[in-house]
Amino acid sequence: MSSSAVPVKVEGASKKFRQGETIVEALKEVTLNVEEGEFLTVMGASGSGKSTLLHLIAGLTKPEAGRICINGEDITALSDRKLTMFRRRRIGIIFQSFNLIPTLTARENILLPATADGRLAEAEKALPTLLSRLALESRISHRPDALSGGEQQRVAIARALINQPSIVLADEPTGSLDSVNGQILCKLLRELCDKDGRTIILVTHEPSVAIWSKRIVVLKDGRIISNFETSTFKDSHSLASHYQGIVESDKNAVVAA
């Protein structure tokens, strides 16, 4: 594996699902490169294929065609066991629903990936700095039902970061948060990119979230219809107008064809 390999490389990935008697093409020959230290957002309406793309990159599902390479490793060729080990050590995943274990304390939830990977001693040394950064020091002994939504999401982020992955994937991470905590989370993800050099891939349909990233790809009906930088937009409102224009333009092009 080359150390200079592109962190995330998606090559002609296609994915289908069966819904009753219908076959749904969730992704259609998608190709995408994400550079080291890049913060990329994948936007699209519900059903566009954005979460499916993230799940392929995470190795949670496999494509019918194409391949996914993470740090030069073709994860589509790995066995389930090797893929689980690879994901645990190289990729941090943040979900909308937090996925915390209710019977465990915040500390136990955070350390769970390190415990499973036999790296508990190393993780415990890194834990105080991580807790301080996420403002969780005083909440570490609490179980999820005693934490606010924002606190639960920060615990989930700490869990995703405890094994120090170079790649962080976030699937609609602000969906269960109010606007204030959502923006706090976005700022944190941007800091992980700018200060720590982590590669971030975030899925959302919200321009106010997407504006924090450096680049946006837009998915519609399982294919990429646009790819643009965020630096030219002064705020989320101008980005939202541009995004809507892309979607409408694509719709008109399909009708014309």
pLDDT in tens, 12-61: 999 998 888 888 899 999 999 999 999 999 999 988 999 999 999 999 99
The mean-pLDDT minimum among 63-72, 160-169, 173-182 falls in 173-182
Q: What confidence category does residue 5 fall into, taking pLDDT thresholds of 50, 70 and 90? A: confident
Q: What is the mean pLDDT of residues 199-225?
A: 95
Q: 8 pairs with which residues across the strands?
A: 34, 70
Secondary structure of residue 231 in the 3-state scheme: coil
CB 221 within 8 A of CB 49: yes
Token pair in block for residue 237: 């409102």
The CATH number of domain 8-256 is 1.20.120.530: no
Domain boundaries, the chain: 8-256
DSSP summary character for residue 213? S
Q: Which residues pair with 39 in a beta bridge?
A: 200
In DSSP terms, which residues pair with 219 in a beta bridge? 224
Give the containing element (helix H, strand E) for 226. Answer: strand 223-229
User: What pLDDT was estimated at residue 49?
Assistant: 94
The SS3 assignment for 95 reads strand
Query: What per-residue string of b and e applies to 30-39 under the rule 16 or more CB within 10 Å gives b?
Result: bebebeebbb
Question: What is the percent of the chain where pLDDT is above 70?
Answer: 96
- Please tell me the pTM assigned to this model: 0.90
What is the pLDDT confidence band of residue 253, given thresholds at 50, 70 and 90?
A: low
249 pLDDT higher than 70: yes
List Cβ neighbours of 171 (8 Å cut-off, separation of 6 or more): 51, 54, 55, 93, 94, 95, 96, 203
Structure confidence at residue 252 as a pLDDT band (50, 70, 90): low
Instruction: Look over the chain and give the mean of its residue pLDDT values, rounded to a whole number.
Output: 91
Name the least confident of 151-160, 174-183, 206-215. 174-183
Asked if pLDDT for residue 6 goes beyond 90, the answer is no
**Residue 142 · residue 131 · CB < 8 Å:** no
- Secondary-structure breakdown of the chain: helix, strand, coil percentages, each rounded to the nearest 5: 40, 25, 30
Per-residue pLDDT band for 170 (boundaries 50, 70, 90) equals very high
96-140: pLDDT as tens digits: 888 999 999 999 999 999 998 888 999 999 999 999 988 899 999
pLDDT of residue 43: 96
For residues 239 and 137, what is the distance between their CA atoms, to the nearest angstrom? 36
Region 149-153: mean pLDDT is 91
pLDDT-based confidence at residue 254 (cuts at 50, 70, 90): very low
Query: 81-85 long-range contacts, Cβ below 8 Å, gap at least 24?
Result: 83/59, 85/117
Number of H helices, E strands in the chain: 8, 10
